[in-house]
């Protein structure tokens, strides 16, 4: 039949486009620096099960955690119905899974309940974003596209879920009227209540409504599938690998730079240094997105812009320009930009831009390295690691630290303390206040 053919064609087209888009993102992520993460596999699986599948870190904000669970479980479970739709679409069958007998209406009813919960959650999410306008959805980085993106996702999910309910209501009504093409398969819990809305409609119009809803749903899903790789919604795929490849060290540990160790050893004792001629030790820190590791870039693509990081960042809370979410989004947007340039003008093309065209010193130097953003992220993104890499570039390649920080560096170098105190005074604290005051007054 022609409709089966069209359906199959659409399906193949959608899957092909989606694969292309995923490959694009994979290529972009691989533009990051190499990094080998293959340790502690069983611990990684446990963390993935707990944090990504179990969404444990969401629970700190219970309202959004529960609403998100509705959408998450809805998404996964309703995929079983997608299976039925795909088989029906390809082979021209109708409700193929109804061979399950009495289980079938129970299953469909479960989907319907989930669909209602998804709609409910999405409506509340829209209200929180657009009417209540929660602070964490209002940052500077959340204007324009990110704001629209969030709303598109929520509206689409409402439409997709609604079409299932309308389709089932029409189907149920046709079953009740004994239409030959709509075999009675049992009562569906939610759409049964909606049947009265369509009671006055003729059989043929009802069939059209049922078919239109079916097509609307599946075409909508296929379009949405291809929207996701352009959207923050890509977190539904990347959350799992991203959590799997989480940093397992204590959060306080900053990543070491072995490339520097040899240099430092040579500086401290030139005789002890390795005999190797000065090899290319590369650039210190990161200037552009491609200087970051692939894990930083995967972090960036995993971000769903929820803003928990920013809403817990001491700098952001007190009105500073720094927003960890913006840093992550800047990295993602920049690697997308680099990817586009590479596709258009070849792998060696440069546009003369860097991450510093997006991220200012004012943002970079406001970070207290407190790890609040890292602690908050439900998918274990590490914005602090990105900030550190950018600071390393500014300090070691550009000598562009703020003046007071440079003074701190020279104090450490010259006096062995961040302040201008003499090492000779390091034991003054033992002297007792009286004695200490004497020593200080003598010095003056």
Binding residues for another protein restricted to 328-347, rule: CB under 8 A: none
- Name the segment binding another protein (CB under 8 A); options: 127-135, 180-188, 195-203, 364-372: 364-372
Told to check if 412 binds another protein by CB under 8 A, we report: yes
Identify the residue among 30, 421, 438, 439 touching another protein (CB under 8 A): 421
Residues numbered 273-292 forming contacts with another protein, rule: CB under 8 A:
284-285
Identify the residue among 76, 79, 402, 438 touching another protein (CB under 8 A): 402
Told to check if 423 binds another protein by CB under 8 A, we report: yes
Told to check if 369 binds another protein by CB under 8 A, we report: yes
- Rounded to 5°, angle at Cα 425 from 423 and 428: 145
Rounded to a whole number of angstroms, the minimum distance from the CB of residue 121 to another protein is 24
Q: Which is nearer to another protein, 203 or 437 (by Cβ)?
A: 437
Q: Which is nearer to another protein, 177 or 426 (by Cβ)?
A: 426
Told to check if 167 binds another protein by CB under 8 A, we report: no
Tokens (6 digits) for 318: 């007190």
Told to check if 260 binds another protein by CB under 8 A, we report: yes
How many residues touch another protein (CB under 8 A)?
75
Identify the residue among 256, 274, 344, 441 touching another protein (CB under 8 A): 256
Q: Which is nearer to another protein, 84 or 376 (by Cβ)?
A: 376
Identify the residue among 151, 162, 283, 375 touching another protein (CB under 8 A): 375
Q: Which is nearer to another protein, 148 or 422 (by Cβ)?
A: 422
Told to check if 36 binds another protein by CB under 8 A, we report: no
Told to check if 103 binds another protein by CB under 8 A, we report: no
Rounded to a whole number of angstroms, the minimum distance from the CB of residue 304 to another protein is 20
Per-residue contact flags (x/-) with another protein for residues 296 to 315, judged by CB under 8 A: ----------------x-xx
Handedness of CA 132, 135, 137, 139 (dihedral sign): positive
Rounded to a whole number of angstroms, the minimum distance from the CB of residue 355 to another protein is 14
Residues numbered 50-79 forming contacts with another protein, rule: CB under 8 A:
60
Measured CA distances, 353 to 141, 269, 321 (Å): 19, 39, 21
Q: Which is nearer to another protein, 178 or 416 (by Cβ)?
A: 416
Identify the residue among 38, 282, 427, 444 touching another protein (CB under 8 A): 427
Told to check if 405 binds another protein by CB under 8 A, we report: yes
- Name the segment binding another protein (CB under 8 A); options: 30-38, 133-141, 295-303, 358-366: 358-366
Told to check if 372 binds another protein by CB under 8 A, we report: yes
Told to check if 146 binds another protein by CB under 8 A, we report: no
Q: Which is nearer to another protein, 290 or 394 (by Cβ)?
A: 394
HEC secondary structure over the chain = CHHHHHHHHHHHHHHHHHHHHHHHHHHHHHCCECCCCCCCHHHHHHHHHHHHHCCHHHHHCHHHHHHHHHHHHHHHHHHHHHHHHHHHHHHCCCCHHHHHCCHHHHHHHHHHHHHHHHHHHHHHHHHHHHCCCCHHHCCHHHCCHHHHHHHHHHHHHHHHHHHHHHHHHHHHHHHHCCCCCCCCCCCCCCHHHHHHHHCCCCHHHHHHHHHHHHHHHHHHHHHHHHHHHHCHHHHHHHHHHHHHCCCCCCCCCCCCCHHHHHHHHHHHCHHHCCCCCCCCCCCCCCCCHHHCEHHHHHHHHHCCCCCHHHHHCHHHHCCCCCCHHHHHHHHHHHHHHHHHHHHHHCCCCCCCCCHHHCCCHHHHCCCCCCCHHHHHCCCCCCHHHHHHHHHHHHHHHCCCCCHHHHHHHHHHHHHCCCCCCCHHHHHHHHHCHHHHHHHHHHHC
């Amino acid at each position: 039949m022609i409709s089966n053919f069209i359906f199959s064609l659409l399906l193949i087209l959608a899957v092909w486009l989606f694969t292309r888009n995923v490959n694009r993102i994979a290529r972009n992520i691989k533009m990051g620096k190499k990094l080998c993460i293959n340790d502690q596999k069983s611990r990684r699986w446990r963390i993935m099960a707990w944090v990504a599948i179990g969404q444990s870190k969401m629970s700190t904000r219970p309202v959004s955690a529960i609403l998100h669970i509705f959408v998450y479980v809805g998404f996964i479970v309703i995929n079983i119905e997608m299976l039925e739709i795909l088989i029906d679409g390809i082979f021209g069958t109708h409700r193929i899974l109804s061979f399950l007998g009495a289980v079938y209406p129970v299953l469909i009813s479960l989907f319907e309940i989930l669909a209602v919960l998804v709609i409910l959650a999405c409506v509340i999410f829209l209200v929180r974003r657009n009417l209540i306008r929660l602070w964490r959805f209002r940052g500077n980085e959340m204007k324009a596209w990110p704001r629209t993106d969030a709303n598109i996702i929520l509206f689409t999910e409402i439409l997709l879920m609604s079409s299932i309910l309308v389709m089932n209501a029409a189907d149920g009504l046709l079953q009740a009227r004994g239409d030959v093409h709509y075999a009675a398969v049992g009562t569906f819990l939610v759409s049964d209540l909606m049947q009265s809305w369509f009671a006055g409609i003729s059989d043929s119009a009802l069939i059209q409504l049922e078919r239109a809803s079916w097509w609307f749903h599946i075409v909508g899903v296929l379009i949405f599938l291809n929207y996701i790789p352009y959207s923050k919604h890509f977190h539904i795929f990347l959350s799992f690998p991203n959590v799997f490849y989480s940093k397992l060290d204590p959060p306080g540990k900053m990543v070491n730079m072995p490339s520097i160790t040899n240099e430092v050893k040579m500086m401290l004792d030139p005789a002890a240094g390795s005999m190797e001629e000065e090899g290319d030790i590369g650039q210190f820190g990161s200037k552009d997105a491609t200087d970051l590791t692939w894990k930083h870039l995967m972090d960036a693509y995993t971000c769903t812009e929820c803003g928990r990081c920013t809403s817990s960042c001491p700098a952001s809370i007190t009105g500073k320009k720094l927003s960890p979410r913006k840093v992550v989004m800047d990295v993602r947007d920049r690697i997308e930009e680099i990817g586009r340039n590479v596709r258009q003008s070849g792998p060696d093309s440069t546009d003369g831009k860097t991450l510093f065209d997006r991220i200012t010193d004012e943002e970079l130097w406001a970070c207290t390295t407190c790890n609040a953003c890292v602690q908050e992220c439900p998918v274990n993104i590490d914005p602090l690691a990105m900030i550190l890499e950018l600071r390393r570039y500014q300090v070691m390649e550009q000598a562009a630290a703020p003046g007071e920080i440079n003074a701190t560096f020279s104090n450490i170098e010259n006096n062995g303390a961040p302040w201008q105190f003499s090492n000779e005074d390091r034991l003054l604290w033992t002297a007792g206040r009286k004695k200490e005051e004497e020593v200080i007054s003598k010095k003056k």
